Amino acid sequence: MDTQVILDSIWVVFAGVLVFFMNLGFAMVESGFARAKNAANILSKNFIVFAVSSLGFLLLGWGLMFGDGNGFVGLKGLWMAGGADNSPAVGDAYRGVYGAISWTGIPFWLKFFFQLVFCGTAATIVSGAVAERVKYLSFILFSFALTLLVYPIVGHWIWGGGWLSELGFLDFAGSTVVHSVGGWAALAGVMVLGPRFGKYKKNGGINPIPGHNMSIAVIGLFVLWLGWFGFNPGSTMAADPGAIAKVLMTTNTSAIMAVLTSTATCWIVTGKPDLGMTINGCLA
């Protein structure tokens, strides 16, 4: 096997494992910010969501997202990612039905794994938004539908050669495909479910619901921060030192500025810094 293919593959495996590790970060942040009585339920949902996501993306999601098709959805190689493919061949040498992702010269199932952990992240974003307000089975079904159909179809529009891609839309590491889709899905869930029980008083006033374990939340934040160093630089899907270095610095600089600005804003508005606001500012 070509040396460059080996190097690219090692890098993408490493980056993909970092993104997978973000599941732990989400679980710790969400459970830390929740009330103690709901911590086990939230941890369980974060545990099962990746399994559900993996199944949905394998059954149909990958094909809908990257299969050759039209501007709306992939139509080839749909079931169980079983379409023709001769990766790591690229460009004119590629012979398969997943042409939209034939630009990266790594083995097929490594492409699948790296995109799978992105899909799982989108579903996990929903978990945090609906924490303490959704039934377990309802969350499983919602996550399965999201990763089987919704995420892949929107992903096809941008990364699968769909209509947004044809208009020149660019998304390097998933700010729209992953985070925006996860955010919109979370908003839809929250609008249907409504606020947490006990959040509002009868007169409309707000009852603060502080997290039960900020130590866990902070550790979770650092796990997510570590995961970003796989999420963003890994999106090069190639061992390109120059590109990786630039993305690393952009990622870290964005995070530290978010920490500083959220802390300063809270300090100015409320008269004191707040750890919860700083954590959420960094995540945002």
Per-residue pLDDT at 211: 87
Name every residue whose Cβ is closer than 8 Å to that of residue 105 and which is 6 or more positions away in sequence.
2, 4, 5, 8, 87, 88, 89, 90, 238
Both tokens assigned to 144: 């399965």
Question: What are the pLDDT digits (tens) for 241-266?
Answer: 999 999 999 999 999 999 999 999 99
User: What residues form DSSP beta bridges with 74?
Assistant: 69
Per-residue pLDDT at 232: 96
Architecture of the CATH domain 3-239: Orthogonal Bundle (1.10)
Question: What are the pLDDT digits (tens) for 269-282?
Answer: 999 999 999 999 99
**Which parts of the chain sit beneath pLDDT 50?**
none
Both tokens assigned to 152: 């892949």
Report the predicted TM-score, pTM, of the whole model to 2 decimal places.
Answer: 0.92
250/244 Cα distance (integer angstroms): 10
Per-residue pLDDT at 111: 97
Per-residue pLDDT at 195: 85
Domain range summary for the chain, segments of one domain joined by +: 3-239, 240-284
Amino acid at 20: F
Per-residue pLDDT at 254: 95
Nearest to 22 by CA among 194, 263, 228: 228
